[in-house]
Amino acid sequence: AVVPDTRETTAGKFTVCYIYSPDLIERCDELHKIPMRASMVHSLIEAYGLLRHMQVISPTKATLEDMKQFHSEDYLNFLGKIADEDDDNVDEEAHQYGLGYDCPVYKGVYNLACLVSGATLKAADLLISLQARIIINWFGGWHHAKRDSAAGFCYVNDIVMGIQRLRQRFDRVLYVDLDLHHGDGVEDAFCTTNKVLTVSVHKHSPGFFPGTGSVTDVGVGKGKYYSVNIPLHDGIKDEQFVPLVCRILAHVKDRYKPEVVVCQCGADGIAGDPMESFNLTPVALMKCIYLLLSWNLPIMLLGGGGYHHANTARCWAYITGGVLGRKLACEIPDHKFLMEYGPDYELQIEVGNMKNHNSIEFLKRVYKQVTENISHIV
């Protein structure tokens, strides 16, 4: 595996920036589906002593103007209205903006939107200003949110805003989505342009959220063939996932010659996740990220899904250590959330024994279709 050098950059002492602020963590801890996950991720990275090897950058809140670059004013005004307690007819309108079940209405949601968007915009600004080559933001990666609605636990699409910001300085942006779910919100935002190439590898099965992202979904108009989808079935393991994804990414790199990379590293495909779909270990994500790092392009790593909180923290701490070229102890270090890592208290995640529904023939067919699509990239 290629490990990036940690030589000093021209601009500063550190090659790797880590986006963090207590306020950002507290807001993310309030997220309905992943309570306290943000604190667990940050605490484990801190407990492994990794913060001293990175430049820790506190994000600024996105303004309404910033968020209007992607989201509709109506939607943002509605999120703002929720913040005002006295407005009780919020519930009727809520559903038209995708708020309700999966994205519950709650008072702090506008503040969350500003912080989460600001964090990824800050990451983009750091890459644009050449202040660092690798930016880590485990509190972003909300890939389902649409221009005028929340979706799939995502209230705002920080990734789309970050990519739009990167486009002010870079001509061709590559977006890679390693989350279990199709990165539909990001693909939708850029499916008509050849200036952003989106690659999403995900579970694609009847009735599985969000249902989009088939291999024939290639983008439209000028964006045709600049949306790449790698649909998979339940049970895929590292040994099949890594060569498939890395070979496809290598083809994309050769054809598209991206200038900057954004990678969503959702951990809900890791064995043991309540989504019970893929059977990956963090090593699979790490190997895909090492390939991206080996290209020596400016890159932003984002979080995303991950519903086994301890495994998600294990995964992103492991990736953070890998990016820094530092080996992490197998034993989870003592820290505030140590008890969550029982009974083995180890960093490593054992692969599960679920059935693998991805036959060799199926994977060969997907690979053939995807590389056929990519061959049209000019």
Ligand X SMILES: CN(c1ccc(C(=O)NO)cc1)S(=O)(=O)c1ccc(-c2ccccn2)s1
Q: Which range of residues in 104-112, 238-246, 254-262, 267-275 is near Zn ion by CB under 5 A? A: 267-275
Those residues with Cβ within 8 angstroms of residue 261's Cβ, 6 or more apart along the chain or in another chain: 173, 174, 175, 176, 292, 295, 297, 298, 299, 300
Q: Which is nearer to ligand X, 234 or 259 (CB)?
A: 234
Q: How far is the CB of 141 from ligand X (least distance, A)?
A: 8
Q: Does 177 bind Zn ion (CB under 5 A)?
A: no
Helix (H) or strand (E) holding 290: helix 282-294
Q: How far is the CB of 135 from ligand X (least distance, A)?
A: 20
Tokens representing residue 83 in the block: 């913040």
Q: Which is nearer to Zn ion, 43 or 264 (CB)?
A: 264
Q: Which is nearer to ligand X, 219 or 304 (CB)?
A: 304
The residue number whose beta carbon is nearest to ligand X equals: 305
- The alpha carbon of 204 is separated from its chain's Cα centroid by a whole number of angstroms, namely 18
Q: Which range of residues in 14-22, 206-214, 242-250, 298-306 is near Zn ion by CB under 5 A? A: 298-306
Q: Does 181 bind Zn ion (CB under 5 A)?
A: yes
144 as an active site residue: the answer is: yes
Cis peptide before 104 (omega within 30 of 0): no
The residue number whose beta carbon is nearest to Zn ion equals: 305
Q: Which is nearer to Zn ion, 181 or 309 (CB)?
A: 181
N residues, the chain: 378
- Ramachandran assignment for 333, one of left (phi > 0), alpha (psi -120 to 50 degrees), beta (any other): beta
Q: Which range of residues in 80-88, 101-109, 299-307, 312-320 is near Zn ion by CB under 5 A? A: 299-307
Q: Which is nearer to ligand X, 279 or 373 (CB)?
A: 279
Q: If contact means CB under 5 to 8 A according to the sort of partner, which of ligand X, Zn ion, none does residue 235 touch?
A: none
Under 8 Å between Cβ of 250 and 371 = no
- The single residue among 179, 187, 238, 273 that binds Zn ion, judged by CB under 5 A, is 179
Whole-angstrom distance, CA of residue 189 vs CA of residue 26: 29
Whole-angstrom distance, CA of residue 5 vs CA of residue 16: 11
| Catalytic pick among 144, 233, 308, 309 | 144
Long-range contacts, stretch 240-243, CB < 8 angstroms, 24+ apart: 240/356, 240/358, 240/363, 241/201, 241/278, 241/280, 241/284, 242/284, 242/287, 242/288
Q: Does 266 bind Zn ion (CB under 5 A)?
A: yes
CB atoms within 10 A of CB 376: 11
- Count residues contacting Zn ion (CB under 5 A)? 6
Whole-angstrom distance, CA of residue 226 vs CA of residue 59: 31
Q: Which is nearer to ligand X, 304 or 322 (CB)?
A: 304
Q: How far is the CB of 302 from ligand X (least distance, A)?
A: 11
Q: If contact means CB under 5 to 8 A according to the sort of partner, which of Zn ion, ligand X, none does residue 162 touch?
A: none
Pick from 116, 248, 105: nearest CA to 174: 248
- The three-state secondary structure class of 123 is helix
What residue ranges bind ligand X (CB under 6 A)? 102, 144, 152-153, 179, 181, 209, 266, 268, 274-275, 304-305
Whole-angstrom distance, CA of residue 63 vs CA of residue 94: 22
Q: How far is the CB of 76 from ligand X (least distance, A)?
A: 21
Q: If contact means CB under 5 to 8 A according to the sort of partner, which of Zn ion, ligand X, none does residue 310 touch?
A: none
Q: If contact means CB under 5 to 8 A according to the sort of partner, which of Zn ion, ligand X, none does residue 231 touch?
A: none
Q: Which is nearer to ligand X, 153 or 256 (CB)?
A: 153
Under 8 Å between Cβ of 260 and 298 = yes
Q: If contact means CB under 5 to 8 A according to the sort of partner, which of Zn ion, ligand X, none does residue 153 touch?
A: ligand X
Looking at the annotation, which residues are catalytic?
Answer: 144
Binding site residues, Zn ion, CB under 5 A: 179-181, 266, 268, 305
